[in-house]
Chains A and B, each alone.
Chain A
Amino acid sequence: MTENQDTGTAQTYLLEMRNITKTFPGVRALDDVTFRVRPGTVHALMGENGAGKSTLMKCLFGLYSPDAGEIYLDGQRVHLNSPKQALDHGISMIHQELHPVPHRSVMENIWLGRFPQVKIGPLSFVDHKKMFEDTQRLMEELQMDIHPAIRAGELSVSKIQSMEIAKAVSYNSKIIIMDEPTSSLTEREVEHLFRIIRELRQRGVSIIYISHKIEEILQIADEVSIMRDGKYVGCWPASELTNDLIISRMVGRELTHRFPEKTNQPGEVLMRVEGLTSPLPNSFRDVSFDLRRGEILGIGGLVGAQRTELVEAIFGLRAVERGTIFINGQPVSIHSPIDAKRHKVALLTEERRVTGIIPVLSVFDNTVVANLRHYSTSLGFVDAQRCRQDVADSIDKLRIKTPSMRTLIANLSGGNQQKVLLARWLLTEPDILILDEPTRGIDVGAKYEIYTLMLELAARGKAVLMISSEMPELLGVSDRIMVMCSGRVTGILPREEADQEKVMRLATQFL
């Protein structure tokens, strides 16, 4: 499949990103990364969730400005401070989530912001005729079957992606970044995309191709760069790589992270999930597992494994087509968070800002909000005294750092916000605590405290179900690890048997 590449003498690179470093509060997202792309190649960029691929590409596309490092195009130093500048330098990006203007035509989408003009006297108008013809020519060149005047909203995902690629070509892009381009395509559409990619390569365009799908990459890529934990691992010709080699290089880190000692002891089965299946076609299906008292069950997998969708369904936020949830051996029906709470299930959601904190309210109100029913007198008044007592206890026990309980939660650090949300759920005295990426975006110290809390809760007999995309966390805290891929459970590993490569192999089983 791969065309012969002249790898000997033509050592000039089209793109060189040298020593790029980018830090966010609490994380070093990119650590001295040097990344080079040859002209006219398909260059795959791989790594686990959070390895830094997207951050690197956002630096290239001018969405982030790196703290340190230089970018060279054709040997010339460039400064890319906005997507506009990146586009002007011939860099385009096809995002994973496509956002066309649905009610406007394909040609208007492509030429948006740079419509061809026609002058009539002192006035200038949009030259629709030229725009139509230019678009038609572009589509013919790329062998795309899309009518320029059709509304973008009527196109399939695959066609919209083609349209975006055509737009990139219309900018005379030399580099096109594709972020998970096949994530929502059918097999036939993937074939079509690959045809277009090969056509672009022929014309000397370089494609930076981000994907988790190893098989696909071995098929289309010329070279593969691998990143891990914000660092650049290396670059290899695709022809020298195998599935196993890629996995071991993606996860091949030393496990040096420290975790609190495990004190919990799994007991009898508390919750059993049998054959849980979503009504949506590409979501979770036939998911079965047991969760024991005093156990921390980790759920691993890559983006798109449908882990969040699964736990949201268990919590009653999403519909279920079939399957049963048993708690204490009894089948239960949970259709809303209200039902879930009644069955003593709690969910700490992944998106803290979107579904967690209520930013305009205080730490106090945020802590008690899920448990007000229990502070309510028969007439519907809130027992403020009891609330204050419980909030004070929570702040104390979870070591929440806040000036006072009347402080707005928005003014707290991410780690402390997360602790408030954990406190919110602990006040409801759940038996089953579901944590979706509980340590995302919080600093190392707070992470350790959250692990300690989880272990304490498990030691007290609570069952904890934890989604985590951080491999060390998954291996360091869980008693068992359930791995999902494309909505299905691909394996459940006991702690003793689990290692990074096994988890990654299961996580990519169907990709």
Chain B
Amino acid sequence: MEELTFHHTTRRRAGGTKRMAIIGVVASGNLEVLAERVLTDAECRLDIKTAAEGFGAVWSAVVTDFVERHSPGGLRFSINDGGAHPDAVSLRLAQAVRMMEEAEQ
């Protein structure tokens, strides 16, 4: 298993007030993303655990692109990866941010 961590500063905080969101399932080609609003407004962090070792550069690129696109300030993302394609990773991360920015019920 490989564990990766990425810290980024962001232009702005992620919208909304939701404290936590969970999306995805740990299965072949899939992943789960747990998002928590626990950081200061201009920082975000991603902790990834994956059985597919040696793809650090790919993760880094996907994460950098995600942070640039969504500016998820204040959010910590914890990921359990089941061997997902980078597109699936991007999708789940985007879904997680969207869930965090949803209005509370």
- Judge: A and B partners, yes or no: no
